[in-house]
């Protein structure tokens, strides 16, 4: 069982916006502004898309945005595109260790 809780799946149509949530505790998500998000395609290594809750690495589309409220972090993808279909994982620092969510499968209808 993963330390952080994510919904197993989410879906949306092209052009829509979707939000993936990631729930932890005050010992991880709620205690540090060190939440990151990763996109993974089948058979490929994950790719960093958000770090430090809200920051986007160079080259990542501004359609991806992150936020946090209390013990829950969120990833929002706006203007959904077919290429966004894949698995998304949240991650948080938890004081001398790092924990991941179980992953959310995004389907673009």
Binding site for other proteins (CB under 8 A): 2, 32, 34, 36, 38, 45-48, 51-52, 57, 89, 91-93, 96-103
Q: Which is nearer to other proteins, 10 or 93 (CB)?
A: 93
CB of 63 vs other proteins, minimal distance in Å: 19
Q: Which is nearer to other proteins, 79 or 85 (CB)?
A: 85
79: phi > 0 → left, psi -120 to 50 → alpha, else beta; which?
A: left
* Nearer of residues 4 and 77 to other proteins, judged by Cβ: 4
Find all residues with CB under 8 Å of 97, minimum gap 6, and list them: none
In the complex, what is the shortest distance from the CB of residue 84 to other proteins, in angstroms, rounded to a whole number? 19
Tell me the residue length of the chain: 109
**Which residues are CB-neighbours of 50 under 8 A, at least 6 positions away?**
35, 36, 37, 56, 60, 64, 65, 66, 75
- Please state the φ and ψ torsions of residue 82, each to the nearest 5 degrees: -55, -35
The least CB distance from residue 96 to other proteins, in Å, is 5
Q: Which is nearer to other proteins, 14 or 41 (CB)?
A: 41
Task: Work out how close the CB of 18 gets to other proteins at its nearest, in angstroms, rounded to a whole number.
Answer: 19
């Amino acid at each position: 069982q993963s330390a952080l809780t994510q919904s197993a799946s989410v879906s949306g149509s092209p052009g829509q916006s979707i939000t993936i949530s990631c729930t932890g505790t005050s010992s991880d998500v709620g205690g540090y502004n060190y939440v990151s998000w990763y996109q993974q395609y089948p058979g490929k290594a994950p790719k960093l898309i958000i770090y430090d809750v809200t920051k986007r690495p160079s080259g990542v589309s501004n359609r991806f945005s992150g936020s946090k409220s209390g013990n829950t972090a969120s990833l929002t993808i706006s203007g959904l595109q077919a290429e966004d279909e894949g698995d998304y994982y949240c991650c948080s620092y938890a004081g001398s260790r790092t924990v991941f969510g179980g992953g959310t499968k995004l389907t673009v209808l």
